[in-house]
Chains A and B, each alone.
Chain A
Amino acid sequence: MSETGNLRDDLSNPPKGPTRNQIWVGFGVLVGLVLIWMIVAQWPDWLDAILISKKAFLSAILNGLTLAGLYFLVASGFTLIFGLMRNVNLAHGSLYLLGAYVGYEIATRTGNWFIGVGGAFIAIALVGLIMQILVFRRLEGDDLRQTLVSIGISIVAADLMLAVWSGGTYQILTPEWISGAIKLPVVTAERSNGTLVFLKYPLYRLIVLGVAVAIGVALWLTLNKTRIGMMIRAGVDDREMLSASGVNVHYVFAGVFALGAGLAGLAGVIGGSALSVAPGEDIRYLLASLVVVIVGGMGSITGAAIGALLIGLAEQIGLVYFPTYGVVLTFVIMVVTLAIRPEGIMGKRL
Chain B
Amino acid sequence: MRITKRNLLALTLSTALTLPSIALAQDGAIKIGLLATFEGAFTVLGEDGERGAMTAVNEFGGEVAGHEIEIIRGSSDASPDSAVRAARKLVEQDGVKVLVGPLSGDEGIAVKDYAKTQPDVTFINGSSAAQDTTFRDPADNFFRFSTDGAQWMAGLGTYVYNEKGYQSVATVAEDYSFPYTQVFGFMAEFCNAGGTVPSKSWVPIGNKDYSSVIAAIPDDVDAIYVALGGADAVNFLSQYQQAGGEAPLIGGSITVDQTVLTSEGRLRDILIGTPAAGPTADTNDSEAWLSFVDEYKNTDGAFPSPSLFAHGYYIGMKAALLALEETGGDLSDPAAYREALANLEFETPTGKVSLDENRNAIADIYLTEVVEGPDGNLVNKLIQTTSQVNQTLGIDKEEFRALGAVSRENPSCP
Contacts and interface: CB of A to CB of B under 8 A. Distances in A.
Contacts of B216: 52-53, 56, 59-60, 320
Interface in B232-279: 234-235, 238-239, 242-244, 263-266
B193 interface: no
A58 B212 CA distance: 9
Interface in B204-226: 204, 206-209, 211-216, 218-219
Contact of A56 (B40, B215, B265, B408): B215
A280 B211 contact: no
Contact of A167 (B46, B208, B239): B46
A96 interface: no
A213 B325 CA distance: 66
B209 A319 contact: yes
A279 B43 CA distance: 8
A170 B231 CA distance: 9
Given A63-B212, A319-B207, A181 B235 contact: no
B263 A173 contact: no
Nearest to A315: B209
A136 to B, nearest CB: 19
Contact of A169 (B38, B214, B234, B301): B234
Contact of A63 (B46, B211, B234, B263): B211
B41 interface: yes
Contact of B209 (A55, A67, A162, A197): A67
A316 B209 contact: yes
Contacts of B52: none
Interface in B71-85: 77
A334 B212 CA distance: 23
B280 to A, nearest CB: 20
Contact of A166 (B213, B242, B265, B301): B301
B226 to A, nearest CB: 15
Given A60-B215, A63-B209, A276 B40 contact: no
Interface string A2-31: 000000000000000000000000000000
Interface string A262-305: 00000000000001101111001000000000000000000000
A233 interface: no
A205 B214 CA distance: 14
Interface in B12-50: 38-41, 43-44, 46-47
A241 B273 CA distance: 68
Interface string A309-320: 000000111011
Nearest to A205: B211
Interface string A184-203: 00000100000001001110
Contact of B243 (A168, A171, A181): A181
Nearest to A197: B219
A152 interface: no
Majority secondary structure of chain A interface residues (helix, strand, loop or mixed): mixed
B47 A166 contact: yes
Contacts of B208: 275-276, 281, 284
B215 A280 contact: no
B133 to A, nearest CB: 22
Contacts, number: 124
Contact of B231 (A64, A180, A278, A326): A278
B201 interface: yes
B82 to A, nearest CB: 12
A276 B235 contact: yes
Interface string A50-79: 001101101110011001000000000000
B41 to A, nearest CB: 6
B203 interface: yes
B204 A171 contact: no
B175 A324 contact: yes
Nearest to A159: B39
Contacts of A32: none
B155 interface: no
Given A170-B264, A171-B238, A323-B203, A56 B243 contact: no
A204 interface: yes
A338 interface: no
Interface centre among B202, B239, B242 (most CB of A within 10 A): B242
B243 A202 contact: yes
Interface in A199-223: 200-202, 204-205
Nearest to A312: B209
A60 B212 contact: yes
Contacts of B265: 171, 173, 276
A179 interface: yes
Nearest to B408: A324
Contacts of A180: 242, 244
Given A60-B215, A279-B39, A279-B40, A181 B244 contact: yes
B213 A202 contact: no
Given A63-B209, A167-B46, A324-B175, A276 B242 contact: no
Contacts of B301: 166
A35 interface: no
A179 B215 CA distance: 17
A173 B263 CA distance: 12
B179 interface: no
A276 B201 CA distance: 21
B211 A59 contact: yes
A56 B213 CA distance: 8
A202 B242 contact: yes
Contacts of A315: 209
A339 B220 CA distance: 45
A327 B239 contact: no
9 contacts: A63-B211, A169-B230, A171-B263, A201-B243, A276-B235, A281-B208, A284-B206, A324-B204, A324-B408
Given A169-B230, A278-B43, 20 more contacts: A53-B216, A63-B215, A67-B209, A162-B39, A167-B38, A167-B39, A167-B46, A167-B47, A168-B263, A169-B44, A171-B266, A173-B264, A200-B244, A202-B211, A202-B239, A205-B242, A275-B235, A320-B212, A323-B175, A324-B408
4 closest A-B pairs (Cβ-Cβ)?
Answer: A167-B43, A59-B215, A171-B265, A181-B244
